[in-house]
Amino acid sequence: MSTPIISGILLGTVGAAAYFSPHLIRKLEEAKLRKSCREQRSLVLTYDDGPGEKLTPRLLELLDSYQVSATFFLLGMRVQKYPRFVNRIAEAGHELGTHGYYHLNAWKVWPWLALNDIQLGYRTLGDAVSADSPFRPPYGKLVLPTWWALRLRRAPIGWWTVDSGDTNAQLPQSDEVVKKVKSAGGGVVLLHDFDRQGNQAGVRADFVLETTAALLEAALVENWKVQSLGRLLR
């Protein structure tokens, strides 16, 4: 076999490892997360891509009515647009995490751009978060450089066990999400609190609120502990 072919194979192998080994790590971490939720009988509500000027206040009011804490993975570009919500979320007793600045898919951009996006996300939140506050990868995608950068920060990666489906083309029913969590004995649920645009904006906002309320009602019946992701991981 010629040297160029061998070099090409080696480069391809290294490239594949850089992109897909974090995916394998994710699967292991998700399995551990499901186990922790089941053993601790816990429900963790997490919200991505916010804050939203309209939805986030309604959501905070709902969570406050149940006296529970959630985890918000804030997007830097929306924090810059609505900075007042950062303190409001934190003062309500919720955990703050980062979700990058531009919401870049690490599998579709150069690694240094994904790394910069992570750093910008933390920088935009400033003193509201620490260097080791949790990070949720946009689209759930990491590559080795971004995974390693988070390891160096000692920042937990905010995986989830149940996707609410609130960004799907076809919305599910709220009780379908509740059934998934019930069957697993608890879970970390992915939801979104940014303000949608278009004809279905109101429908999707209502779905997030209805699903949140349905899960919290189920927590009362099932005697689940409702806590932030950080508390679950600790």
Spatial contact of 121 and 75, defined as CB atoms under 8 Å apart: yes
Task: Report which residue type is found at 136.
Answer: R
Residue tagged active-site, from 94, 99, 103, 192 = 192
Residue 99 among the catalytic residues: no
Residue 192 among the catalytic residues: yes
Q: Which of 192, 212, 190 is nearest to 201 (CA)?
A: 192
Round to whole Å and give the CA distance between 196 and 183: 30
CA 194 to chain centre: 13
Round to whole Å and give the CA distance between 37 and 181: 10
Helix (H, G, I), strand (E, B) or coil at 188: strand
Examine residue 137 and say whether the peptide bond preceding it is cis (omega within 30 degrees of 0). Answer: no
Spatial contact of 55 and 208, defined as CB atoms under 8 Å apart: yes
Catalytic annotation, residues: 48, 192
